[in-house]
């Protein structure tokens, strides 16, 4: 038994190193090739998470062409913009699928009763944890690979995003096929392939999250400057 446990530990210890090598080999690969590798490698144990920004929509479009049966999930915080809910309906009709919807344990009203109204203004970290981070654990449970729309040009905190990495928290492989793409690359693909996208992108919202915590960006600001504006918060916690 001790020998089996020791061998298992050795295998696990090699996983991050192996994935780092794979990630480096994908530095010049096209996102579609990365998705094809992921689909072939992980099969139905792969899941794609999205918040329906333009990167996420491009990723969905690519994934559907590689593997029509790909599992796509989203975490409905109950605080999306109306335009986001409308986009979800349009996208499901476009691709002929139903995306897997996860929700927080508490409704927005239930959260207000338990923790006070407009918690996002008083403790945005706690709000994000309950409405996004905790449901994520349920979303990826039972999967061995999690595909995300992270890009290095989105913010300083994402500048060193690997294409492939081991996610210790959830004990799975995390894949960012668009890591090397720019905002221009994403929009070029979206417009060329008529990918449905949120109309708020045309109104100064390059990054769209929950309505109470998202504003349009000003000229010269980075792509995620409109998220949690007025605070030093830059991430909701899903990718930390």
Among 67, 128, 213, 236, the active-site one is 236
Does any domain span residue 18? no
Does any domain span residue 208? yes
Q: Which of 239, 207, 209, 240 is nearest to 222 (CA)?
A: 207
Does any domain span residue 104? yes
Give the pLDDT score at 235.
73
Give the pLDDT score at 230.
78
- Block means of pLDDT (10 residues each) for the chain, 240 residues, are 38 76 96 97 96 97 92 97 98 97 97 96 94 96 96 89 95 96 97 98 95 93 85 74
Give the pLDDT score at 3.
37
Does any domain span residue 137? yes
Does any domain span residue 224? no
For position 205, which CATH number holds?
3.40.50.620
Domain count, the chain: 1
Give the pLDDT score at 220.
86
pTM above 0.85? Answer: yes
Give the pLDDT score at 240.
58
Does any domain span residue 67? yes
Cβ distance 213 to 206 under 8 Å? no
Does any domain span residue 26? no
Does any domain span residue 222? no
Give the pLDDT score at 6.
36
Give the pLDDT score at 23.
97
236 flagged as catalytic? yes
3-state class of 172 per DSSP?
Answer: strand
Containing domain of residue 169, as a range? Answer: 34-213
């Amino acid at each position: 038994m001790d020998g089996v446990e020791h061998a298992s530990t050795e295998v696990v210890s090699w996983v991050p190193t192996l994935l780092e090598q794979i990630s480096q080999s994908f530095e010049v690969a096209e996102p579609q090739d990365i998705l094809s590798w992921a689909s072939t490698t992980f099969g139905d144990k792969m899941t794609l998470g999205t918040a329906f920004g333009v990167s996420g929509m491009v990723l969905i479009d690519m994934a559907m062409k590689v593997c029509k049966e790909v599992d796509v999930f989203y975490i409905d915080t109950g605080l999306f913009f109306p335009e986001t809910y409308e986009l979800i309906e349009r996208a499901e009709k476009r691709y002929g699928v139903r995306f897997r919807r996860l929700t927080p344990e508490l409704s927005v009203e239930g959260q207000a009763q338990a923790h006070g109204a407009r918690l996002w203004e008083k403790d945005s970290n706690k709000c994000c944890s309950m409405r996004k981070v905790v449901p994520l654990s349920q979303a990826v449970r039972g999967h061995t690979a999690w595909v995300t729309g992270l890009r290095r040009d989105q913010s300083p905190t994402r500048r060193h995003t690997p294409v492939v990495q081991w996610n210790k928290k959830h004990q799975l492989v995390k894949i960012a096929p668009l890591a090397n793409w720019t905002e221009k690359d994403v929009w070029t693909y979206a417009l060329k392939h008529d990918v449905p996208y949120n109309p708020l992108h045309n109104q100064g919202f390059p990054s769209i999250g929950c309505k109470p915590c998202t504003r349009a960006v000003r000229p010269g600001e980075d792509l995620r400057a409109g998220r949690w504006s007025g605070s030093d918060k830059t991430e909701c916690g899903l990718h930390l």
